[in-house]
Structure 1
Amino acid sequence: MIKLILLDVDGTLTDGGIYRGNDGIELKKFNVKDGYAIVYAQKIGINFGIITGRKSELVKIRAEELKMKYIYQGISEKTLVLKEIIKITSLKKEEIAYMGDDLNDLNIMKEVGLKGAPKDAAREIKETADFISSKKGGYGAVREFIEFIIKKENKWEEFLKNVK
């Protein structure tokens, strides 16, 4: 049973674009449907976290809005964070899912129980993934992964009862 879903950000929770305004401030586009599924999956006992290679105040704000439990930014070796999370939570690797889109996600994907990828992920990521979304990163791929997990574990009806 999956108890924790960890996510990459750029190319997974976002479309992978880095936008800058005239003032140089970075902008990112998050998909509200991904956020909706994250919020309601937490109500049935699934925790969430972010492990990303870049640092962004926007990511921190979005993760806090969604009440994600773990936020790790500026991480070059994501498997080290996974080991730390396992130590903190006592979860087994089989109880953790991860969704990522690019080569820096490959090592952590090999270490978790369930691996997901957006439709536009790198070939090597898709070859490693147990689930490949029909949607691109930032366009509802995370929601599709969450729904796949919930349905696979026969928790869909419980999930729907919490939706408002």
Structure 2
Amino acid sequence: MVTEAPSKPGKEELTSRAARVRLLVFDVDGVLTDGGLYYGAQGELMKRFDVKDGHALVMARLSGLPAAVLTARTSSIVEVRGRELGLAAVLQGRRDKGAALEELLQQLGVSPEACAYMGDDHNDLAPLSRVGLAACPADAVPEVRQEVHFVTQSPGGRGAARELVELCLKASGRWDDAVGLMRGADGRGAQRVEQTPYSR
């Protein structure tokens, strides 16, 4: 029996969901990275992160929209990247992502409806089903693409996270201020960026 995929929300509903977001949560492999795992004799050596995604996450943080990562794998590389970007939380080694998301939301005092989650594979379906704005990269697996509210035009690790950040900042009216902060347009932005971990 073939089940019909749920229809995607229209622009007005999507904007409304995005405007309510108070926390962004991202899977790592295949979302913040391109999914490639580079191994050497001592184990995992590298992950590829996109600088534009990092830039957007810094913009979000400086605009008062925190972000976190939630991943089933464990890597010191992710811990380092999380510190660079000033993420609110880095949860690793959490195979039950639904339970881990609930824990994170309680810890940060955010309701599920005020959370956006981006994932790309089957183990992301549980947290995706719990949040107010579910998103995935363009190259996510079909089961994920059919369940989310927002599918980006970019693949994982190549601008997908940035698209979600832009959607939420624009929907909440914070995009222009975020751009101004990164430019230092108000006379304080440049100093604030220099004093915080930065994506480049």
Q: 1:100 aligns with which of 119, 124, 136?
A: 119
Q: Deviations over 1:40-95 (max 9, x none)?
A: 11111111111001000100100111010111101111111121122222211111
Q: 2:87 aligns with which of 65, 68, 86?
A: 68
Aligned to 1:163, what secondary structure does the other structure show?
helix
Q: Which moved more, 1:150-159 or 1:119-128?
A: 150-159
Aligned residues: 164
Q: CA deviation at 1:149?
A: 1.3
Q: Which structure has the larger Rg?
A: 2
**Cα distance in 2 for residues equivalent to 1:130 and 1:75:** 24
Aligned to 1:50, what secondary structure does the other structure show?
strand
**Cα distance in 2 for residues equivalent to 1:38 and 1:151:** 14
Give the TM-score of the pair, scaled to structure 1: 0.95
Does 2:180 match 1:153?
no
Map of 1:141 onto structure 2: 160
After superposition, the CA RMSD in angstroms is 1.2
Structure 1: unaligned runs, 5 residues or longer: none
Q: CA deviation at 1:154?
A: 2.1
1:117–1:133 CA contact under 8 A, matched in 2:
yes
**Cα distance in 2 for residues equivalent to 1:76 and 1:22:** 25
Map of 1:86 onto structure 2: 105
Give the TM-score of the pair, scaled to structure 2: 0.79
The code of the aligned residue for 1:57 comes to S
**Cα distance in 2 for residues equivalent to 1:89 and 1:52:** 17
**Cα distance in 2 for residues equivalent to 1:91 and 1:55:** 25
